[in-house]
Amino acid sequence: MARQPARSVGGRRRASHSMESVLGEAVALLDEAGAPALTFRALAQRLGGGVASIYWYVANKDELLDLATDHVMGGVLADIEKLPPGEDAIDDRRAMALTLFDAVVRRPWLGAYFMRNTDVQSNSLRIYEMLGRQTLRLDLSARQRFHAVSAVIGVVVGSAVDMGQEPPQEILDGAVGRDEFLGRFAQAWRELAPDEFPFVHEIVDEFDGHDDVDQFRSALDLTLAGLRLQAGL
Amino acid sequence: MARQPARSVGGRRRASHSMESVLGEAVALLDEAGAPALTFRALAQRLGGGVASIYWYVANKDELLDLATDHVMGGVLADIEKLPPGEDAIDDRRAMALTLFDAVVRRPWLGAYFMRNTDVQSNSLRIYEMLGRQTLRLDLSARQRFHAVSAVIGVVVGSAVDMGQEPPQEILDGAVGRDEFLGRFAQAWRELAPDEFPFVHEIVDEFDGHDDVDQFRSALDLTLAGLRLQAGL
DNA sequence: CGGTACGATAGAACAACGTTCGATACGATG
DNA sequence: CATCGTATCGAACGTTGTTCTATCGTACCG
């Protein structure tokens, strides 16, 4: 696997890829300009080859996305495994979830594809296992354990999807910063009728300029507090 | 608005639409065959008109999705407003979230578009307001209130996305039931090495044939239990 | 050494999609 | 009756995922 034949010297070069390079360039494209930037033609150009060649490595675009996702999840899994085990199972889960979320925040496109197909995404399944293994240290039923992990994944994915939606593109160009983008929304909210939207007015200042990681950590801690209660700790 | 001009009798009929009918047929298309089934051409055919006519009502496909989402969210909002107010603010939030989730489970495509653009999705904003208003009855800081609502929305969206991913299509055709689909995954999990995946083996029986709503309710209750703790109840 | 099988690459074509353009019909207004 | 804004539509454009078919290069085998 991953054999690298010598390129022919004369005439038109024939590109020679490898699973590693295909996935690597795919991830690079996704990182640089988001999901819509990953097209077979753009990817082929980066690889210096033809469009159809990519189909030798992946069956279709869905599989490409799944494999690219799993590719970066390999790194995340390594980070999670590096985490020092502590005394408290729930604190360990918290650290894992934060590591996972950190990766998703850095790569907003991950949110949509993560955990979609554990058949192909074997690293995602391993992360699922790592998250769940901590619950074995708690006094819970199997069903409660199952739900506990689903809940944490739900919080990660939910927050990620909420935050990962592309600002119409202007923020990616750098033409307008994230703060300004948030401020615009906040301003629109401030102009709503106060008697019709008392809650929106209550929290608009918190929304304006808020930190995504703070928001996620709060949601996660609520879930973990509930779990701690359930485990009788 | 929504004027209905008479159709010409002779020659080729000219279709006459309305915002209501466009959104209605769009939702019907989404319900029947999922997000990929909603194309401008399919929609035009259902409306008995031309493709370009739709662009008189919506600027582009994103706006069509947003408006279609908000269209059904109108119904959800009505359901939520019909909910009888109880004594406990958190119980009321729970009922609202369940109503919301119920709608998303019935329409899996909702998960991906819900709450994407509160500019266009005014009903979604109103649901956000309704969910948040309950927190005003609790002893919390503005930031805590903000995070409390984000957390609940995160749980809803996270669970919805997790459950909303299309089974390769065979389940939509009805060729293979949901139980069998789950069972296939469960079987693959059972064949994993038990020492490498102890947690997966622990919960595979729970996963097999599990109920989505149960799973969501558990996640929601964990979050709400945490919130109750935070509010000092 | 020549032939053959197979791993790997690639150009061209296809169907489907979102979107735009220009023309055209229709009712109301003057 | 002319005019204007509303509403409609067929045809075309560019881009996308995907398939077809032909080819190259290397390893193997008689």
Q: For the domain covering A76-230, report its CATH number.
A: 1.10.357.10
Residue ranges, comma separated, of all CATH 1.10.10.60 domains in chain B are: 15-57
Residue ranges in chain B whose pLDDT is less than 50 = 1-10
CA/C1' separation B200–D10 (Å)? 57
If one counts every other C-beta atom within 10 angstroms of the C-beta of residue A142, the result is 15
Which residues are within 8 A (CB) of A140 and not within 5 positions of it... i.e. 6 or more apart? A148, A230, A231
**What pLDDT was estimated at residue A170?**
64
What pLDDT band is residue A15 in, cutting at 50, 70 and 90?
confident
Tell if the CB–CB gap between B218 and A151 is shorter than 8 Å: yes
CATH superfamily of B73-230: Tetracycline Repressor, domain 2 (1.10.357.10)
Per-residue pLDDT tens digits for A153-199 = 999 989 988 777 766 666 666 667 788 888 999 999 999 999 999 99
Place of tokens 């979230």: B97
B226–A223 CB contact, under 8 Å: yes
Query: Residues A169, A171, A173, A176: is their CA dihedral positive or negative?
Result: positive
- A118-128: average pLDDT: 93
- Does domain B15-57 fall under CATH 3.20.20.70? My reply is no
Which one-letter amino acid corresponds to residue B7?
R
Residue span(s) of chain A under CATH 1.10.357.10 come to 76-230
Amino acid identity at B5: P
> Which residues of chain A are in CATH 1.10.10.60 domains?
14-57
Comparing CA positions, the residue from B206, B201, B198 lying closest to residue A133 is B198
Interface test with B, best of A80, A146, A165, A212 (most B CBs within 10 A): A146
Three-class DSSP labels, chain B: CCCCCCCCCCCCCCCCCCHHHHHHHHHHHHHHHCHHHCCHHHHHHHHCCCCHHHHHCCCCHHHHHHHHHHHHHHHHHHHHHHCCCCCCHHHHHHHHHHHHHHHHHHCCCHHHHCCCCCCCCHHHHHHHHHHHHHHHHCCCCHHHHHHHHHHHHHHHHHHHHHHHCCCCCCCCCCCCCHHHHHHHHHHHHHCCCCCCCHHHHHHHHHHCCCCHHHHHHHHHHHHHHHHHHHCCC
> Which chain C positions come under 7 Å from a protein C-beta?
7-13, 16-22, 25-27
Residue B162's pLDDT is 79
Cα–Cα distance for residue pair A111/A226, rounded to 1 Å: 24
- Look at domain A14-57 and name its CATH class: mainly alpha
Q: Which residue of A has its CA nearest to B62?
A: A168
